Amino acid sequence: MSLLSVDEARARILSHFQAVETETLPFVECATRVLAEDIAATTELPPFDNSSMDGFAIRAADVANATDTSPRSLRVIADIPAGASPTISLTSGDAARIMTGAPVPDGADAVVPVENTDFNNRDAGSVAPESVMINKSVHHGENIRPRGMDIRAGEVVLHKGRLLKPQDLGLLAMLGYANISVYRKARVALFSSGNELLEVGAPLESGKIRDSNSYTLAALIEEAGAEVSRLGVAKDDRESVKSLLDKAVDHNVDLILSSAGVSVGAFDFVKEVIEANGKMDFWRVNMRPGKPLAFGEYKNIPFIGLPGNPVSAFVGFEVFVRGVIGTLNGMYNGGRRKVRVRCAEQIDSDGRESYLRAQVNEEDGALVAHLTGHQGSGNLHSLVQANALLIIPAGVKCVPAGQEVNAWLI
């Protein structure tokens, strides 16, 4: 077993994955899906010159000298609510009452907000006046949102590989994209292994603990954008491990993920069963927590075996599996946000690339990290208390207080 750097292990794993196939779906079903096509604007946005204020469309030259003490009177020749399609044309001395979002009529080149006029009836249904006094000048183009100011026709506004956000759905709607091409969601089968593991509902027994990894990892898989098939717990024997692996195959998944049974001294039936039907490597990765990692293939489906300790399993997911799901899902963005944080206290490390649990708070405008409790790989409580994983690079044995390091916000 060679000692791999985190980057080497991650690159080796990722080289085995590519995006899953695509499907065409109604765009309303595509929140949190990944786009499989570039989206180009079908029209300019906004599609027509429109008013950004409730007020009066006018010709700026007509009101160039208008002030409170010397207002300018204009004849109101039309009333243009949002949704209207005006056919009139303004000439010098004309105004048209206009609402926000309504098309600016021909001949007008600016909008005077209603508060800069003597007309202050803003009630719904109020009738437009016959004339209006303008008491403030406006610039040419003021309060008009010109056609195409936001988006030009043909411009690519959303790129293939983008994880769609709520505002993207709004833009797709504006552009009239009823159906879009997206990647299907990756499917991941998940099981825990170990004779010591009990179901959540079971009372504790001597020597036993409740399975927690199944739940943490299933939620992480879903949060990362994949569908999860929870297959339960494999006993430490061949038949049990094989039956769960075969169930994973039946579910036609893109990845099989398990926890435990990969550390030295574990009953490694997982390795034996997988090797009889594929291949498996055990790696020692130069990281903490979570040094042991298994990677292989069972009946042509990629397999990743994370360590059993709950924090190691979590960190292993973040370091190795989140990126795999992103790749399967066709994603170019996404992943945990990396930030620079200042260590509140000195941190001693053992030279492995370390992922430490910390609470990051804003203090005097800076992000400051405090380690949360005991950093042992079985201590789930300190992970629950953390909102970040500090990343101490390989080779570093001491980070002095006040120094900055990278962190993932979790």
List interacting residues with ligand AMP (CB under 6 A).
Answer: 192, 194, 196-197, 209, 211-214, 259-263, 266, 307-310, 378
- Which of residues 266 and 399 has its CB atom nearest to Mg ion in the complex? 266
Residue with tokens 């204009």: 74
Residue 225 contact, options ligand AMP, Mg ion, none, Cβ 5-8 Å cut-off depending on partner type: none
Q: Where does 175-237 have alpha helices with state H?
A: 213-223
Interface of this chain with Mg ion, residues 262 to 291, rule: CB under 5 A: 266
Residue with tokens 């797709």: 172
Least gap, CB of 155 to ligand AMP (angstroms): 49
Read off the tokens for 2. 């060679």
Residue 54 contact, options ligand AMP, Mg ion, none, Cβ 5-8 Å cut-off depending on partner type: none
Q: How far apart are CA 325 and CA 226, in angstroms?
A: 7
Q: x/- binding map, residues 174-203, to Mg ion, per CB under 5 A?
A: --------------------x---------
Provide the 3-class DSSP secondary structure of residue 322: helix
Concatenating the DSSP letter of every residue in 74-115 gives EEEEEEE-TT-----B--TTEEEEE-TTPBPPBT--EEEEGG
> Using an 8 Å Cβ cutoff, are 342 and 31 in contact?
no
Least gap, CB of 262 to ligand AMP (angstroms): 6
- Which of residues 193 and 329 has its CB atom nearest to Mg ion in the complex? 193
Residue 211 contact, options Mg ion, ligand AMP, none, Cβ 5-8 Å cut-off depending on partner type: ligand AMP
> Does 260 contact Mg ion by CB under 5 A?
yes
A 10 A CB-CB count for 176 gives 10
Q: How far apart are CA 299 and CA 239, in angstroms?
A: 16
Q: Measured over all CA atoms, what is the biggest interatomic distance in the chain, rounded to whole angstroms?
A: 94
- Which of residues 306 and 341 has its CB atom nearest to ligand AMP in the complex? 306
- Which of residues 263 and 385 has its CB atom nearest to ligand AMP in the complex? 263
Residue 46 contact, options ligand AMP, Mg ion, none, Cβ 5-8 Å cut-off depending on partner type: none
Read off the tokens for 217. 């990892």
Residue 263 contact, options Mg ion, ligand AMP, none, Cβ 5-8 Å cut-off depending on partner type: ligand AMP
Least gap, CB of 27 to ligand AMP (angstroms): 39
Residue 57 contact, options ligand AMP, Mg ion, none, Cβ 5-8 Å cut-off depending on partner type: none
| Nearest C-alpha neighbor of 265 from the set 236, 302, 285 | 236
By CB under 5 A, name the binding residues for Mg ion: 194, 260, 266
